[in-house]
Amino acid sequence: MTFVKKVCTLAAAVSTVALMAAGAADAKNFKIAVGDSAGSPQEATGKFFIEALEQKSGGAHTATLFLNGQLGSEQDTVNEAAIGTLDMSLLAINNVTPFSPSVGVFTLPYVILSLEDAETLTQGPIGQELTENTLRDAGVRIIAWTYTGFRRLTNSKKPVVSVADLQDLVIRVPKNEIMIETYKSWGINPTPMAWSETFTGLQTKVVDGQDNPYMTINAMKFYEVQNHVTNLRYIFSIEPLIVSEAVFQDLSEDDQKMILEAGQEATRKSAQFLRDSEAAIKEELIAKGMEIVDPENDEAEFIQLATEGVWPQFYDSIGGVEKLNEVLAAIGRDPVQQ
């Protein structure tokens, strides 16, 4: 080897080592809190995000999922991310609403009536505006959306097909005013309880029932402590992946771009995951002993009580009745008459 070649080879080796050292120093392993268990749509979105992040960063960056509320209740993780002691969290939108009331428009009963509605709203200008509001109000940035399906009512006592059937049941709800008021519109006083305490609450019969999508009921093994399911469709569950803004702002522009793109990819895959899996999971719940019934009269009484009784109470917090009408127009529905 000539002297020049030797010098060039050495220089190349030195710069590779330097790059590796810089890469190792900048390498990130983000901590992601996840409220649900293995097999849930939340976990699936987390995995899709990690896969995309590793691929986009050439393996430099990754993230680790902490399932089952190991890092605290879903609402606590919003506070943790806001102050920058937690990197990211995957949680239900209803547990973000207390920190940024305008996202409550996604929790208003019977607004979102299909997965397609959920995709249109979250991925369009309304989703963008709510992401900005959440950043402003709560110090966390929504970077991906998980689509989990309609929240179905479960209980351990009896089949529920009517509002009358609900009256002697104690139902757990998240600490979310809209959901509390929805059950009140149906004539009962629900019990607000953190998600991380819900399985035990059902098991010890502190509460008789709760509502969550089929996919969540299955992943959380609620079939072990609940046997009746009512096919309510009052809320379509949407579960964002949020990142601490303090953490996000500490990243380089390239890394921020990678994170946002990985989030978009996870969102697309989440919708497909729900389309591919929900029907089979419903069958699995039946095989595991759950009895699934439809509400009588196409849910008419539930719908009328909730929309007439609950929507007007929350116009102010979601940004006015005009905001609700904007949302309804985006999914091709008639406006509320004022």
Contact positions vs ligand MLT (CB under 6 A): 35-36, 74, 91-92, 94-95, 174, 195, 212, 216, 237, 239
Nearer to ligand MLT, 183 or 195 (CB): 195
Angle between helices 115-123 and 125-138 (to 10 degrees): 60
Minimum distance of ligand MLT from residue 112's CB (angstroms): 14
Minimum distance of ligand MLT from residue 123's CB (angstroms): 20
Residue 285 near residue 218 (C-beta atoms within 8 A): yes
Beta-bridge partners for 191: 172
Cβ-proximal residues to 42 (8 Å cutoff; 6+ apart), any chain = 34, 35, 36, 90, 91, 146, 148, 239
The residue nearest ligand MLT at its CB is 92
Query: Which amino acid, 52?
Result: A
- Residue 235 has φ and ψ, to the nearest 5°, of -135, 130
Minimum distance of ligand MLT from residue 91's CB (angstroms): 6
Query: Which amino acid, 277?
Result: S
- Of 168, 298, 278, 293, the C-alpha closest to 229 is 293
**E strand or H helix at 52:** helix 41-56
Nearer to ligand MLT, 132 or 197 (CB): 197
Residue 213 CA to residue 152 CA, distance in Å, equals 5
Minimum distance of ligand MLT from residue 114's CB (angstroms): 19
DSSP string covering 230-293, please?
E---S-EEEEEEEEEHHHHHTS-HHHHHHHHHHHHHHHHHHHHHHHHHHHHHHHHHHHTT-EEE
Minimum distance of ligand MLT from residue 150's CB (angstroms): 12
Minimum distance of ligand MLT from residue 215's CB (angstroms): 9
